[in-house]
Structure 1
Amino acid sequence: MRRKRTAAVLLLLLMGVFLLINTPFIWKWMYPVKYQPEIKLAAERFNVDPMLVLAVIRTESAFEPRRVSKKGAVGLMQLMPETANWIIKQAKFQGLAMEYLDDPKVNIDIGTWYLSYLLKQFNGDKVLALAAYNAGPGSVNKWLEQEIWDGSRERVEDIPYGETRHYVQKVLYYQEKYQKIYQNDFK
């Protein structure tokens, strides 16, 4: 009798967990969004999918605005100071200074502009743009020219830098998750 009761309680508990796992609340808890207004505005301004921006931020910094990498990349979108300086000049961002790179709005604007730039450079191909965001456009162009990697999502495992290979896979994974969970929240 006691085993049946224990089994029944376990079954009910498992059913409850299964039902909860498919609720929007649980998914939003597992894949949170911070800085939604800033992301939405920058994505619209620079014509980039906001879910892609979210995925880059999640992968780069896990939404920690003051994060600094071992290599010196700064902020939510982990921008290298040299790249950020170049972007500020290229995009003619008025009044932006490097000391504000850890400010979420500034970092999101600069990083989203750069994503837009890379997407244009690689004819809208987000896989190539993401690889370039991580490894630099020069590396990606070299891999394509030397036929090391064909640039396709299906052949991501051919990317010679392990960090870049995993980066592209993670960002694409998170973009799909965010798309499913938040598709109506960014309209």
Structure 2
Amino acid sequence: MKWLVKKRVLLVLLLGFIGVLFLSTNWMSWFYPIHYKDDIRRHSVTYQVDPFLVAAIIRVETNYKPGRESRKGAIGLMQLMPDTAKWALEKAKLPDVSMDRLKKEPSANIELGAWYLGSLLQQFDGNRTAVIAAYNAGPGKVQSWIDEGTWDGSFDTVKDIPFGETRHYVQRVIYYYNQYTEIYGTF
């Protein structure tokens, strides 16, 4: 009987500890961490991009694991395709960033990725959903979908995106974006 009382006391103490822990901290951030916050914040401010968008794209692309290379050849945290990265490096005129650094250094990859997102935001007049689709499928493809009336570029009609991979990608990025904004509030 005494061992049962001890177990109940321990259970109550454990539940009390967990309750205090959940009430006194932002416990959801354990499940949705944002790594490289300083780099994301700095480059997002520089290129006028929502830092939560950058963080959500990184989460979907690599889950914050640097040095990744996809089967298609995309490199770094933000999984930039080599041709896109070369084009962006020419346009952005970033003297300290090279293709080798993009593969190995998270800050360089985040900088070029943020620049590219800023460029897409200008191209698509700030339409975040179209920008996310363009980041995955390419801006030319997304623009043709919009021009042809295949997709209107809104989140409400994501189901009309003709590429399943892009449709799923947009939904996942928006999901993480919403989670981050709800959990963290400000960056």
Q: TM-score, normalised by structure 1?
A: 0.87
Alignment of 1:5-154 (within 5 A): 24-102=25-103, 103-154=105-156
Distance 1:151 1:31 in 2: 27
Letter of the 1:37 partner, please give it: D
Gaps of 5+ in 2: none
1:18-52 Cα offsets, whole Å, 9 max, x none, are 88667644211100111010000000000011111
Q: Describe the shift of the 1:21–1:154 C-alpha distance in structure 2 as closer, same or farther (beyond 3 A).
A: farther
Residue 180 (1) aligns with residue 182 (2): yes
Instruction: Check conservation: 1:24, 1:181, Cα contact below 8 A.
Output: no
Gaps of 5+ in 1: none
Distance 1:160 1:95 in 2: 38
* Number of the residue aligned with 1:161: 163
Following superposition, the deviation at residue 14 of structure 1 comes to 8.6
Tell me the matched-pair count. 178
Following superposition, the deviation at residue 95 of structure 1 comes to 3.0
Which stretches of structure 1, 4 residues or longer, exceed 3 Å deviation after superposition?
11-25
Look up the SS of the partner of 1:88 in the other structure.
helix
Q: TM-score, normalised by structure 2?
A: 0.87
CA RMSD, Structure 1 to Structure 2 (Å): 2.2
1:73-102 Cα offsets, whole Å, 9 max, x none, are 011100011111110100111132111112
Following superposition, the deviation at residue 61 of structure 1 comes to 0.6
Letter of the 2:163 partner, please give it: Y
Look up the SS of the partner of 2:156 in the other structure.
coil
Instruction: Check conservation: 2:76, 2:109, Cα contact below 8 A.
Output: yes
